[in-house]
């Protein structure tokens, strides 16, 4: 068990953080949490090992994640990369995350993709991570520690971690609409504060969401104390119809050591 580890995560609706924190706690006694969705300047890594976790949006990681990773001064450190997706597919996301880490000269020693409940259609991936997932996450952490111990003992050169995906990456998801506020909205500002891209702002008695900035991360719907943030009916119905075939599908997690 390590003394501490830095966990960089982006988790608008909590699923990615839940998976990543379970994994990080399996690695170290102390976990330093750094939220990539925070609008403040990121805290630089203090530990020799960092864990970076991102959700999958349409087979990619949000540009916000890769942009912020590339601002870190972490050259020479080791890293574990994780992506969390809602059952459909993770496609180029893990490769894209690893490429961002390589750009800052981080040595990736392990990667993994894990399933969590879908952030828009909750029946997809419902209940995940479940008990089986939790055991697999803990086992992955143990395997990473064992690998680090083996490498320390034989002083061997680390081989490159190869993950699925292709370059150029698939086209990023196009945002055609944003969450809206219902009559229950009290203009409390919780969604404005939580929005990682600054897409939401309150001007007088009006709340506005900027389509050009919104990444449809659903953070605003997740934090609203009045459940007043929802998807427009047409967009929700479209997503329900598209993802309906995935209800009941059980994707397996994958790890790469």
Instruction: Tally Cβ neighbours within 10 Å of residue 245.
Output: 10
Domains of the chain: 2-168 (3.40.50.360), 180-242 (3.30.70.20)
Report the length, in residues, of the chain: 257
Residue 41 binned pLDDT confidence (cut-offs 50, 70, 90) = confident
User: 114 phi and psi, to 5 degrees?
Assistant: -135, 155
Q: What is the torsional sign of CA 195, 196, 199, 203?
A: positive
Q: How confident is the model over 170-198, as pLDDT tens digits?
A: 999 999 999 999 999 999 999 999 999 99
Structure tokens given for 98 = 């690893």
Residue 60 DSSP code: B
pLDDT value, residue 157: 56
Whole-number Å distance between alpha carbons of 114 and 82: 8
- Indicate if the pLDDT at residue 256 is higher than 90: yes
Q: Report which of 172, 218, 254 is spatially closest to residue 10, judged by C-alpha positions.
A: 218
As a 3-state breakdown, the chain gives helix, strand, coil percent values, each rounded to 5, of 30, 20, 50
Residue 3 binned pLDDT confidence (cut-offs 50, 70, 90) = very high
pLDDT value, residue 212: 96
pTM confidence score: 0.95
Mean pLDDT, the chain, integer: 95
pLDDT value, residue 159: 82
User: 122 phi and psi, to 5 degrees?
Assistant: -65, -20
Q: Report which of 181, 256, 183 is spatially closest to residue 223, judged by C-alpha positions.
A: 181
Omega cis (within 30) before 162: no
pLDDT value, residue 153: 64
Contact 253, 113 (CB under 8 A): yes
pLDDT value, residue 156: 53
Whole-number Å distance between alpha carbons of 126 and 129: 9
Q: What is the mean pLDDT of residues 215-219?
A: 97
pLDDT value, residue 33: 97
Q: How confident is the model over 101-160, as pLDDT tens digits?
A: 999 999 999 999 999 999 999 999 999 999 999 999 999 999 999 999 987 766 555 788
Buried b (16+ CB within 10 A) or exposed e, 70-104: eebebeebbbbbbbbbbbbebbbbbbbbbbbbeeb
Q: How confident is the model over 67-92, as pLDDT tens digits?
A: 999 999 999 999 999 999 999 999 99
Judging by beta carbons within 10 Å of its beta carbon (0-12, 13-18, 19+), is residue 65 exposed, middle or buried? buried
């Amino acid at each position: 068990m390590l003394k501490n580890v830095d966990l960089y995560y982006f988790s608008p609706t909590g699923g990615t953080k839940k998976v990543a924190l379970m994994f990080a706690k399996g690695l170290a006694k102390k976990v330093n949490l750094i939220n990539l969705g925070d609008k403040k300047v990121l805290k630089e890594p203090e530990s020799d090992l960092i864990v970076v976790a991102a959700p999958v949006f349409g087979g990619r990681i949000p540009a916000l994640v890769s942009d912020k990773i590339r601002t870190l001064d972490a050259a020479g450190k080791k890293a574990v990369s994780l992506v969390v997706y809602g059952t459909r597919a993770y496609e180029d996301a893990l490769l894209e995350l690893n490429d961002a880490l390589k750009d800052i000269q981080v040595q990736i020693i392990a990667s993994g993709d894990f399933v969590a409940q879908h952030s828009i259609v909750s029946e997809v991936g419902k209940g995940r991570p479940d008990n089986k997932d939790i055991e697999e996450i803990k086992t992955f952490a143990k395997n990473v520690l064992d690998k680090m111990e083996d490498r320390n003992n034989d002083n061997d050169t680390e081989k490159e971690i190869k993950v699925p995906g292709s370059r150029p990456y698939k086209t990023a998801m196009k945002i055609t609409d944003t969450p809206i506020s219902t009559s229950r909205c009290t203009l409390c500002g919780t969604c404005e504060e939580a929005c990682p891209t600054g897409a939401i702002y309150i001007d007088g008695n009006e709340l506005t969401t900027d389509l050009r900035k919104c990444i449809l991360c659903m953070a605003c719907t997740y934090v609203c104390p009045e459940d007043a943030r929802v998807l427009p009916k047409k967009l929700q119905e479209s997503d329900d119809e598209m993802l309906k075939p995935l209800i009941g599908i059980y994707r397996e997690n994958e790890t790469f050591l």
